[in-house]
Structure 1
Amino acid sequence: MTGDTNLLGFDGLELPDLALTAGGDRLASAATLPDVDPCSETAFADVPVASASQVDQVVEAAWLAFRAPAWRGLAPLARERLLHKLADAMEADLPRLAALEALDTGKPVGIVEAVDIPAAISWLRVYAGWPSKLAGRAGTLSATPGDYHVYSRREPIGVVAAITPWNFPLVLAMWKVAPALAAGCTVVLKPAPETPLSALRLVELARIAGFPEGVLSVVTGDGATGAALAAHPRIAKVAFTGSTTTGQAILAASVPDLKRVTLELGGKSPSIICADAVLASAIPQAAMGCFFNSGQVCYAGTRLYVHRSVYDEVLEGIAAVGSAQKLGPSSDRASQLGPLISARQHERVTGFVERARAAGIEAMPSAAVLPERGFYHAPTVLRNVPADAEVMRDEVFGPVLATAPFDDIEEAIARANDSAFGLAAHVFSRDLATAHRASAALEAGTVFVNCVMLADPAFPFGGMKMSGIGRENGSEVLDAYLEPKSVVMAL
């Protein structure tokens, strides 16, 4: 199947080559999955499903590329120049990359052009500057007598499997690809089955930029494809973003070979709005901190605790923000929110809301208008949600905000920490002492104060508890792709 993208609102959009390749050689594939536009529910392409044997071919090519002088022998500055060339190619290709991403995800193309693709390029630019700074150190032994020269090296770990989700396909791929390539690793990228297009185009651009074959590869497919990749003995490191359940399976698969693993998993991030918060900014930020990308954000603020004195005012304001959002197709630049990614996800989110209502939880009225076709879900605000309610404890991954009032900050912090997850938290207050105390007490990998939805390559990102293992971004992420080696030389 090769659909006409003109019919989906993207006139003249050319899809990338969908074929599987290993080291530049095309692989035959009998099995395929449909690529479905979530705005129209229309399948427009058939994407190959890599078998276990094809995964083996791709990984073997990546392993050979890792050991080959064309990549391993590159001077650090030469590797930096190559990474910047890829960033240049992405910038030149930005309209097409944005259209491919919007078509796959259903996200409004104007947002993808302004946020997603520039962010991916920025991540690549930042890590492109690292190869020439990845040095070891020289020193002496501290507790051993004798005359020795001692130094350390930082060497690339090997072939990296980067397994990415469908909510921010290119951005979250670059969170893994950029530091791994900067460290000198080779990468096999496995995008989510729902959103393969930008990953496939990224590999085409890497080839145009001059990357040796096998240094950056893509395998498309389903969960079985990802499992075969994660378990492959030539894979030295798995970098995964996705559900906690899949992350647990990847961690189990890493045991036989003792693979290095970083897992950025689910979240149920709390937001706390104190009585002294500046409501004019807290209300719209808390609203879009849950509703942005139709709630399909791992660290979205989907649990909201509001001081009782301003509870009604805040909820009315958030419901008004949700009602004002224009839901529409990805090709319409006036759209503010797109659909959920799939029929399955729509059914999941709808089920959470229906069960909450059946349990007597009140949903505030919404004036949001839904298109006739597509997997759209209106922004939804739930009032007075009990602490033990399913919708307050489980990750919905949709535009559904569970709220409850509180009377003092200690109560709010206790309720915020009463979760299996610990990815992010948000505090809105004008009092510095409250902000600092809450930031220290909240069990989360990132605490945002008077802001939401920020991520930057300058600081580490990741979760506590069931939200993951390890960190992405910052200088810290490079340690995940480098092996320290000590050299002790007797003189």
Structure 2
Amino acid sequence: MSTVQLVPELHAFLDRPGQLFIGGSWQDARSGERFEVENPAEQRVISDVAQAGSADVDDAVAAARAAFEGPWRQYSPARRGGLLLRLADLMEAEAEGLAQLITLENGKPLGMARGEVASAVSIMRYFAGWPTKIEGSTLPVSPASGHPMLNYTLREPVGVCALIVPWNFPLNMCVWKLGPVLATGCTAVLKPAEQTPLIAIRLVQLIEAAGVPPGVVNLITGQGQRVGAPLAEHPDVDKIAFTGSTQVGKLIAQAATGNMKKVSLELGGKSPNIILADADVKRAAKGAADGIFYNQGQVCTAASRLYVHQSLLDDVLDELRRHATAHVVGPGLDPASTLGPLVSQRQLDTVSGYLQRGLADGAELICGGQRPAHLERGHFIEPSVFLDRQERSCVAREEIFGPVLTVMSWSEPEELVARANDSPYGLAAGLWTNDLRAAHQLAAQLKAGSVWINCWNVVDPASPFGGYKQSGWGREMSKHVIDAYTETKSVFVDLA
């Protein structure tokens, strides 16, 4: 097994204990507590990081409030945009180190981590264009007084934002939220997942180097209950943006009612992927395999439910088996690896439990389902495919967040949409067909925030992203996310 050589700067970074960043100052947690960060491919501790508590949350929110009410308000839109462009340039210059750091603490293959960094740079540059384009309007009002009246609207930053991000795309999720925060003139308290705090620390170091004023971006690290809960409940936070599980999203929504803070939630999914009778089998099967095995299946939009027309079922299963067994499971820093480890022992236990329960529920295991025999350490699992003829098993109904695909067949078009929509989630859906009319008709009927036709997981910063039903509230990216970080003020001027 060969391994990519780490960039020298990364060794120095890992040797330094991770700290909190509050009010422009790197510091330990008030309690002095720390926690360890593991490389999931080797089950080896690679660093340790400050464990924040409620007192640190208070300090970070106070710093964000002081910056929001103070010097940050004086920055012109063009100046904010310039800072974002400078940050994007710094990220691009550090791309290889950032990618290697993602692979070390998250486990994903280095090629995928490099793609994540490139995406994050692109997103930051997209949001750099927004500060000068956030505008109000004048409205033709008709006041009862009959006086001539000027009415105009202003778009103002919402204030202090709590940003809680997950571990599956640890850099991209930070940028998805920090981009609109900085573009609109808000301030932030960023809380990364405890499994992947290192990439957030490195990003905030680059934010500091880019010249973002003290207190505008604050970083607190630690376990969710000890940090995320007090952050969600904090009375001086104006908005909370969370990406993660639906279960935790519901708790955050409840916590936000204390001061009626604004909430945006990007939550779980159990996304249906449909292969119609006229589809190109090889293309559709490859798309289905990529849709579930990408990032070890640890994707909220994972294409985990596959509905195949009965006439194509055997051929599609053969193709899926071929794609699954072709994957090279191994450490992300091994250039030969195409599938890395799951992020933690807890996640491995969860996925392994679903594999056992799926068999107990009567689903047929087509391939996978085991730990790779050649790997003695690490949280690895083979890419797995089930066939569920009754569509009743847990693997067909529940979000697994691992490389586990459940295949169902269909024959009656009248039932297909109802089956695809029969889920508490509605994040994404897809379909494979050469029939343009059928594609558009089905896309209109699927209850999902994103529908992909003859593709999967296509995301662009100019396009909104979010879910229906229990997959979340609001939208990330595009002009829609600017609304989530701004307030609209209406101003009347009596001209009589």
- Counterpart residue number, 1:59: 61
TM-score for the superposition, normalised by structure 1? 0.96
Contact 1:269 1:422 in 2 (8 A): yes
In structure 2, what is the Cα distance between the partners aligned to 1:324 and 1:65?
52
Match status 1:391 vs 2:395: yes
Is the partner of 2:440 in helix, strand or coil? helix
Matches within 5 A, 1:205-216: 205-216=206-217
The match for 1:247 among 249, 257, 263 is 249
- Counterpart residue number, 2:453: 449
Matches within 5 A, 1:365-444: 365-366=367-368, 371-444=375-448
Contact 2:325 2:383 in 1 (8 A): yes
Matches within 5 A, 1:184-333: 184-224=185-225, 225-333=227-335
1:339-379 deviations in Å (ceiling 9; x for gaps):
00000000000100111112332101349765221101111
In structure 2, what is the Cα distance between the partners aligned to 1:45 and 1:9?
18
Contact 2:282 2:319 in 1 (8 A): no
Is the partner of 2:193 in helix, strand or coil? coil
How far residue 433 of structure 1 moved from its aligned partner, in angstroms, is 1.4
In structure 1, what is the Cα distance between the partners aligned to 2:447 and 2:139?
38
- Counterpart residue number, 2:111: 110
In structure 2, what is the Cα distance between the partners aligned to 1:28 and 1:289?
41
How far residue 21 of structure 1 moved from its aligned partner, in angstroms, is 2.8
1:117-158 deviations in Å (ceiling 9; x for gaps):
000111110010010011111233135332111111000011
Contact 1:352 1:391 in 2 (8 A): yes
In structure 2, what is the Cα distance between the partners aligned to 1:81 and 1:369?
51
Match status 1:472 vs 2:476: yes
- 2:411 maps to amino acid: D
- 1:19 maps to amino acid: Q
In structure 2, what is the Cα distance between the partners aligned to 1:402 and 1:8?
34
Contact 2:3 2:333 in 1 (8 A): no
- Counterpart residue number, 2:492: 488
Contact 2:367 2:386 in 1 (8 A): no
Percent of residue pairs bearing the same amino acid type: 45
- Counterpart residue number, 1:95: 96
Matches within 5 A, 1:161-172: 161-172=162-173
Contact 2:204 2:219 in 1 (8 A): yes
Is the partner of 1:328 in helix, strand or coil? coil
- 1:419 maps to amino acid: S
1:153-177 deviations in Å (ceiling 9; x for gaps):
0000111111000000111111111
Match status 1:346 vs 2:348: yes
Segments of 5+ residues of structure 2 without an aligned counterpart are none
In structure 2, what is the Cα distance between the partners aligned to 1:204 and 1:371?
35
Contact 2:50 2:221 in 1 (8 A): yes
Is the partner of 2:349 in helix, strand or coil? helix
How far residue 477 of structure 1 moved from its aligned partner, in angstroms, is 0.5
Contact 2:389 2:409 in 1 (8 A): no
How far residue 409 of structure 1 moved from its aligned partner, in angstroms, is 2.5
How far residue 455 of structure 1 moved from its aligned partner, in angstroms, is 0.8
- Counterpart residue number, 2:6: 10
The range that moved more, 12-21 or 304-313, is 12-21
In structure 1, what is the Cα distance between the partners aligned to 2:37 and 2:350?
20
- 1:313 maps to amino acid: D
Closer/same/farther in 2, CA of residues 46 and 456 from structure 1, 3 Å limit: same
- Counterpart residue number, 1:155: 156
In structure 2, what is the Cα distance between the partners aligned to 1:87 and 1:360?
50
Q: How much is the aligned-residue C-alpha RMSD, in angstroms? A: 1.7
The range that moved more, 334-343 or 379-388, is 379-388
Contact 2:429 2:448 in 1 (8 A): yes
Contact 1:425 1:448 in 2 (8 A): yes
In structure 1, what is the Cα distance between the partners aligned to 2:390 and 2:190?
41
- Counterpart residue number, 1:3: none
TM-score for the superposition, normalised by structure 2? 0.95
- Counterpart residue number, 1:458: 462
The range that moved more, 451-460 or 17-26, is 17-26
Q: How many equivalent pairs are there?
A: 484
- Counterpart residue number, 2:43: 41
In structure 1, what is the Cα distance between the partners aligned to 2:54 and 2:389?
45
In structure 2, what is the Cα distance between the partners aligned to 1:430 and 1:28?
58
- 1:380 maps to amino acid: S
